Structure 1
Amino acid sequence: MKQARRRQSRTCLTFVMTILLGTICLGGLAILVGFGLIPQMANDAFGAPVSTLSPFQRTYLSLQLLIHQDALTLPVNPEAQPVQFLVKEGETANSVAMRLYDLGLIRDREAFRAYLIYSGRDTRIRSGTYTLSAAMNALEIAGKLQDPLSQEVVFNILPGWRAEEIAASLATSGINVNAESFLEAVRQGKKGEEPLASYEGFLFPGSYRFLRDVTAEEMVQAFYHEFERSVTEDLRNAYAQRGLSLVEAVTLASIVQREAVVTEEQPLIASVFYNRLQQNMKLDSDPTVQYALGYGEAWGTWWKVPLTLNDLSVDSPYNTYLYPGLPPGPICNPGLSALQAVAYPAETPYFYFRAACDGSGRHLFARTFEEHLQNACP
């Protein structure tokens, strides 16, 4: 009954507005402006107009908004899903209104354009990618397009970052997630058939797009799903053939990632660690000690360089100078090339490597400890 009355009221209002519009065309504008009836009704329904409108513009646009009130305040489809909408640099309000209408996001493009001009939003539309929906009404969509910042943020994870480094980059990303909540989500790990004590190592490096109001849990799951997609069944089978579980393979890949400066050396470095594991030799990897030490104000980084002899004796299960075998878990989040290097390492006789002395980032490899000592810089 209320809806029927509302439709009847709208019909009457449309009829009255049509008559009033005719009155305006016949010279009655001065009377309407004098009484301020139409502008006041629009002000009550749509807010105050932009101050730069002339009296005629304000009255005419107010009338248009009142006539098309349903088209502006009712969504096209309350059940619609969000879609991405790109506003190009320099695109006009008329072009935006037309494309919104063609995509079925608004009911009436002329009414939408009239509201943009009435409210002054026609000059404040910002370029960028927006998440819009036909479940939003035209007024809500117009408001969304005023955000000077894109609703989406590009967020990057570099290969070799540990979780704390990812968390630290959130502060300047524009994403509304703080470091503490992100790290808590990482430490929660994964439950189920293939549990993970932590997502460290499984936060797959790459470029991601997130809404600014994404949650920490949603971010972690996005990184993990990309890991699941990228680490194929072939890679997993290759790990198993070498006697490694998935966590062990990622742990070894994380060490390879931190040791290698030049990507093409990763299979060589992986071969050294495989050779040492087969001979029950300790891995003696500096990055595992750096991980154990963590962040220090004295060195201002998560990866202390250079390490001292005292550092090599830090008592931590991650210290591969003290404890044989692989550490308890990954020390960083390796990229795909490091994960592939662990699946398909080079076949070499090497048991040692050290940084070359030319500053190239490459390494010198050796079969024996004596050769290793000979590779030391002068």
Structure 2
Amino acid sequence: MKSNKKKVIILVSSVVLLILIGVMFVIYESGPYNKNNGEDIVVDIPMGSTVNNVADILKENNLIKNEFIFKMNFKIKNNYSHMKSGKYLLNQKLSNSDIIDKLVSGQMYQEGIKVTIPEGSTSNEIISLLVKNELGKKEDFEELVSNPSNFYDDFEFLNQKDIKNLEGFLYPSTYYFDEDSKPKDIIKEMLNLFNKNYTDELKKEQKERKMTLQEVINLASIVEKEAVIDEDRPIIASVFYNRLDEGMPLQSDATIQYVFETRKKSITYKDLKIDSPYNSYVVKGLPPTPIANPSIKSIKAVLEPAHTDYLYFVANIDGGNVYSKTYDEHIKNVQKYRKDRDERNKALEAASEAEKEKE
């Protein structure tokens, strides 16, 4: 009896040991091919590649230890169909999991001239960036941006009466352009990314709000310029909707800034009287065109605004806004902001002087 019990213990222990060895083997084989070698290599995954093809390519480039283990990891971590073809920058320090994440998320290696267009950039600022990177002449880009009809064949959404130029539709992102790229192809790439991000769901919400595409992007561009933190975007959008519903002017400094070739440090009382269709202190409704190229966050804020009764807002020293329903409340908030700002500036000056005395 004792002999049988001993045999069972030995058998169970052997099975557990084999399992542990198997687990350790899988962990080891799933790890980096060489954790000390971070030299990057470009690996091309052809269109239509199967996981077997990918495993072969990675093994040939000494990026994985075991093809079977890699395929097993891929199956456990993701469905094979999620894999994206293209060029990837990989190295031997990456584990199977790291490589799979890149293949599934499409973190592809990009070649060419890198141009990053910040959210809220104007078309003039974008053109300056492109010219600075020697991707074309200023006048060529200006002609393309001022004439949406150049792109009607490729982008049907632009063929609308109230879309006068491409301001608002040059999607902010990081791009990689070939040195010999033509200006029209560069603009097309930006428009294509806008079209891709302006999803059917957003189009449905636009239709439900009974707005044109230009109206959505126009208002989103103002929200983009007024918002400092993401949480404020839907609330700012609601304020502007409320003002439009009340027949009030939008009273946005950002629209006046658009008139000037170079952004001013602050808008003066004299600027508030400037004769321009972009002066939203005088002219009611939306300006003639968007005033910038907004992020998708601001576009969504316009299509999914907060529900508020606010008609006014002013910045606070923490970077956000303070909102109010009445003008009297707004004046109090403005006074508080100015007081807080002045006190903070005095404190900063005092701290700066103290630092100088220590030196």
Alpha-carbon distance in structure 2 between the residues aligned to 1:183 and 1:89: 42
Deviating more after overlay: 230-239 vs 248-257: 230-239
Of 221, 245, 255, 2:222 maps to: 255
Alpha-carbon distance in structure 1 between the residues aligned to 2:292 and 2:142: 14
Contact 2:145 2:165 in 1 (8 A): yes
Change (3 A) 1:151 1:178: farther
1:30-80 alpha-carbon deviations (Å, 9 max, x no partner): xxxxxxxxxxxxxxxxxxxxxxxxxxxxxxxxxxxxxxxxxxxxxxxxxxx
Of 287, 290, 314, 1:330 maps to: 290
Structure 2 partner of 1:240: 207
Structure 2 partner of 1:229: 196
Structure 1 partner of 2:304: 344
Task: Report deviation, 1:305.
Answer: 2.1
1:197-231 alpha-carbon deviations (Å, 9 max, x no partner): 21110000111111011111111111111111101
Q: Could you list the structure 1 runs, at least 4 aligned residues long, displaced by more than 6 angstroms after superposition.
A: 88-91
Structure 2 partner of 1:30: none
Of 315, 320, 334, 1:362 maps to: 320
Task: Report deviation, 1:188.
Answer: 1.5
Structure 2 partner of 1:19: none
User: Any idea what SS the aligned residue of 2:258 has?
Assistant: helix
Task: Report deviation, 1:89.
Answer: 6.5
Alpha-carbon distance in structure 1 between the residues aligned to 2:166 and 2:212: 15
1:96-131 alpha-carbon deviations (Å, 9 max, x no partner): 9xxxxxxxxxxxxxxxxxxxxxxxxxxxxxxx99xx
What are the residue-to-residue correspondences of 1:72-83 with 2, within 5 Å? none
Alpha-carbon distance in structure 1 between the residues aligned to 2:190 and 2:130: 14
Structure 2 partner of 1:317: 277
Letter in 2 for 1:327: P
Task: Report deviation, 1:90.
Answer: 8.5
Structure 2 unaligned blocks of 5 or more? 1-37, 44-87, 90-109, 340-359
Change (3 A) 1:329 1:215: same
Structure 2 partner of 1:177: 136
Contact 2:250 2:285 in 1 (8 A): yes
Of 353, 356, 359, 2:313 maps to: 353
Alpha-carbon distance in structure 1 between the residues aligned to 2:312 and 2:218: 19
Letter in 2 for 1:164: N
Contact 1:252 1:342 in 2 (8 A): yes
1:256-281 alpha-carbon deviations (Å, 9 max, x no partner): 00000112210010010011111111
Alpha-carbon distance in structure 2 between the residues aligned to 1:216 and 1:89: 35
TM-score relative to the length of structure 2:
0.60
1:146-205 alpha-carbon deviations (Å, 9 max, x no partner): xxxx961121111110011111112443x4312222122111113466243211100001
Task: Report deviation, 1:361.
Answer: 1.9
Of 265, 283, 288, 2:232 maps to: 265
Alpha-carbon distance in structure 1 between the residues aligned to 2:333 and 2:304: 27
Structure 1 unaligned blocks of 5 or more? 1-87, 97-127, 130-149, 296-301
Q: Does 1:285 align with 2:243?
A: no
Structure 1 partner of 2:164: 197
Contact 1:239 1:342 in 2 (8 A): no
Structure 2 partner of 1:187: 146
Structure 2 partner of 1:14: none
Larger Rg, first or second structure (1 or 2): 1
